[in-house]
Amino acid sequence: MFTWLNIIQIFVIVFIVYVFYVSFIKNTSSEKLVRGLVGLGILWALSFLLPWVHLYLLGRFLHWIALFMSMALIVIFQPELRKFLALMGNVKGLKNAIFAFKQIEKKANDKQKSIDEIIKAVSYMSEKHTGALIVFMDEEDMGNIERYGTQINAIVSSELLLTIFFNKTPLHDGAVLVMNNKIAYAGAILPLSQNQLQWKYGTRHRAALGMTEVSKATVLVVSEETGDISFAEKGSLKKYDDLKKVKNKLEKILLK
């Protein structure tokens, strides 16, 4: 009987097998052997499954075919089998794969921490009507910035964001540029949109739209007048009333 827990376990097993295949097998001399083993495994599975649907004769036939092919594979792929077993004993390669997996996991955890810190800061600034402008961008979009401002190159934290956008600091009127999961610059000047906006939108919203009209960046805006939180993307502006939706949007941006 299949349950959600069984389905999750199957996905985990498939993921582990895929990572192992990409790390150790793909583009090696053992790749043909592994493909043969996969085909043989499917054949064995069918030989056991077919009797369940009362196809006894066909199931028995596939059972003998699978048994014959199992012995044949040992003979045909004897050199590849030796190399595969040697590869399995390659402790250094296994360590490199584990290290690479841990790096990927750490990067994802760091991005999730950044999202939580941004949400904390944005929630406070929205409540206190503190204006903010945060640009999520790649290095290729740097050419669209009119002035970079002050280089920060720091880990994303709510305390740092609140300090930058505090209305008594010299950097609060500009934008914060977030690249590679770090606060790269603060006090940056963005290109202003020339399109007509509603009267309630000020310079921050025009700057947010202007940046997205000339780049692939996504810009988060907190209105100083209303405390509204909005995202500018692809030349359009959308307000988010729910912090949960803001977090979901940040996850789509940073965890891609």
Is 45 or 103 the better-scoring residue by pLDDT?
45
For the ranges 14-23, 73-82, 138-147, the maximum mean pLDDT occurs at 138-147
* Structure confidence at residue 150 (pLDDT): 94
pLDDT value at 15 more than 90: no
Q: Which pLDDT band, with edges at 50, 70 and 90, does 186 fall under?
A: very high
pLDDT at 131: 94
Neighbours of 154 (CB within 10 A): 11
- Helix/strand/coil (H/E/C) assignment for every residue in the chain: CCCHHHHHHHHHHHHHHHHHHHHHHCCCCCHHHHHHHHHHHHHHHHHHHHHHHCCHHHHHHHHHHHHHHHHHHHHHCHHHHHHHHHHHCCHHHHHHHHHHHHHHHHHHHHHHHHHHHHHHHHHHHHHHCCCEEEEECCHHHHHHCCECCEEEEEECCHHHHHHHHCCCCCCCCCEEEEECCEEEEEEEECCCCCCCCCCCCCHHHHHHHHHHHHCCCEEEEECCCCCCEEEEECCEEEEECCHHHHHHHHHHHHCC
Q: Mean pLDDT of all residues in the chain? A: 82
Q: Check if the beta carbon of residue 132 is closer than 8 Å to that of residue 228.
A: no
Please name which of 55, 215, 183 lies closest in space to residue 117, comparing C-alpha atoms. Answer: 183
Q: Which tens digits make up the pLDDT trace of 93-137?
A: 555 555 655 666 778 788 999 999 999 999 999 999 999 999 999
pLDDT > 90 in the chain, percent: 42
Domains in the chain, start-ordered, CATH in brackets? Answer: 17-89 (no CATH), 102-254 (3.40.1700.10)
Tell whether the model's pLDDT for residue 168 goes beyond 80: yes
Confidence of residue 67 (pLDDT cuts 50, 70, 90): confident
Residue 234: count of CB within 10 angstroms of its CB:
11
CA distances from 172 to 110, 133, 134, 149, 186 (A): 25, 9, 11, 11, 8
- Indicate the range of 40-49, 93-102, 171-180 predicted with least confidence: 93-102
CB 193, CB 221: distance < 8 Å: no
pLDDT band at 185; cut points 50, 70, 90: very high
Mean pLDDT of 52-76: 75
pLDDT bucket at 27, cuts 50 / 70 / 90: low
Q: pLDDT value at position 102? A: 65
The gap from C-alpha 190 to its chain's centroid, in whole angstroms, comes to: 27
Amino acid at 250: L
